[in-house]
Amino acid sequence: MIARMTAGGASASDLRLIIRADASPSIGTGHVMRCLALGQAWQAAGGQVTLVSHDLPPSLAERARTAGASVEPALGPLGDLRDATHLATVVTDPRDRLVIDGPGLTLAVLATIEPVAERTLVIDDLAKLERYPVSIVVNQNAHAGLLAYPPGTRLLGGLRWAILRHEFVSPDHHRRRPPSIARRLLIAFGGTDPAGLTRRTTRLILASTGVREIDRLELEVVVAATNPDADAIAALTDRQPRAHVRGEVTNMANLMAEADMAITSGGTTVWELARMGVPSLVVETSPVEAALASGLRDVGLFDTLGPAESLNDATIIGAVGARASDLGWRRQMATRGPRLVDGKGATRVAVALAAAPGALPPDLLSR
């Protein structure tokens, strides 16, 4: 499909996708991960992918290379004008396409890459810039329609553009029938988890006694190598038969398929859980996640527990216990999530970017 829609008749194999995204303890790994998901859709059509990143964690760099992308160092974090000047020189071939994703993006950066703006796509979450002088802006979130993008922005917004990895497009398994009381809780707070919610939630549930819905829960605890609490979580769960720590998970869809519920932070993982029909509790750990939570409430998906810094232990335990015994809610969320997120967003975005510069294919929005 990408080859057919490419301007000038070039095939997808003629196109190189250059990704500029960073990962760090403060911004997490989500920007890089969703860009790599877009890279998978690009590669599926025969294209090439290069990730340009500043101080990329070794485990994430290895993951990108395993996925078939080449990895190159940036000259500085996103927002550094020296790096932006260099980036403009990297996108040399007229067939190259550039994707930029991250909170460090500024108008000064976009002005610096102006020569390649018509071949540039920005992945955005908050509509914070006064202008978006690029070919395409993607906001994959449910709150995209609640934001006021400046006039002239060529926006692809909403959940049909949610950029998910290939394992979520057509899962090769079926969801289990939900039990009357949830038995398996997935704890997944992202690659770096700066709020320390993985350790906190795991500790709370393991320490809670006397509540049937909590006592019987088996925990699947996702702990990436970039999580600073990894050793503490390992010690906390040692000799706890109902707690299973999962390290660098290579197929999250499989793990989600076995979960009755999840508790997570507000990032792309929310849309993965929606796609897999996993009823979820969502904690806000950053300003963008507060916006995501508002979108969830707007579409009636999942429970939002509020900001991490104001969330007390009793609220966490109470929410987990209440929803673990609420079969009707879990059934409703398991149905609503896949209806909202169909897993084809990465391909749609790749088609749109391959067609740039110029107008989008007139039937693209209906696909």
Identity of the residue numbered 355: A
Q: Are 18 and 255 in contact (CB under 8 A)?
A: no
Q: Are 190 and 29 in contact (CB under 8 A)?
A: yes
Q: Are 324 and 318 in contact (CB under 8 A)?
A: no
Q: Are 253 and 236 in contact (CB under 8 A)?
A: no
Residue 235 gets the label, from left (phi > 0), alpha (psi -120 to 50) or beta, of alpha
Query: CATH fold of 184-340, please?
Result: Rossmann fold (3.40.50)
pLDDT in tens, 73-131: 999 999 999 999 999 999 988 889 999 999 999 999 999 999 999 999 999 999 999 99
C-alpha 99/C-alpha 119 separation (Å) is 9
SS3 of 121, please?
Answer: strand
Nearest to 301 by CA among 325, 272, 259, 343: 272
Does residue 287 have a cis peptide bond before it, meaning omega lies within 30 degrees of 0?
no
SS3 of 109, please?
Answer: helix
What pLDDT sits at residue 92? Answer: 84
Which neighbouring-strand residues pair with 104? Answer: none
C-alpha 263/C-alpha 279 separation (Å) is 9
CATH of domain 2-168+343-366: 3.40.50.2000
Reading the block at residue 128, the tokens are: 């914070």
What pLDDT sits at residue 351? Answer: 94
Q: Are 187 and 252 in contact (CB under 8 A)?
A: no
Segment 6-10 long-range contacts (CB within 8 Å, at least 24 positions apart): 6/354, 6/355, 7/354, 7/355, 7/356, 7/357, 7/358, 10/95
Domain ranges for the chain, please list them.
2-168+343-366, 184-340
Reading the block at residue 194, the tokens are: 């700066």
- Angle of CA points 367, 303, 255, to nearest 5°: 70
Q: Are 275 and 337 in contact (CB under 8 A)?
A: yes
CA 127 to chain CA mean position, Å: 17
Give the DSSP H/E element, type plus range, for residue 97.
Answer: strand 97-101
Give the DSSP H/E element, type plus range, for residue 24.
Answer: none
pLDDT less than 70: residues of the chain: 1-13, 171-175, 358-367
Asked whether the domain spanning 184-340 has the same topology as the one spanning 2-168+343-366, the reply is yes
Render 320-344 in DSSP notation, one character per residue. HHHHHT-HHHHHHHHHHHHHH--S-
Interhelix angle 30-44/268-276, nearest 10 degrees: 60
What pLDDT sits at residue 177? Answer: 82
Burial class (CB within 10 angstroms; exposed 0-12, middle 13-18, buried 19+) of 151 = exposed
pLDDT in tens, 10-49: 555 678 999 999 999 888 899 999 999 999 999 998 999 9
The tokens 């497009």 sit on which residue? 169
What pLDDT sits at residue 327? Answer: 97
Nearest to 140 by CA among 31, 249, 232: 31
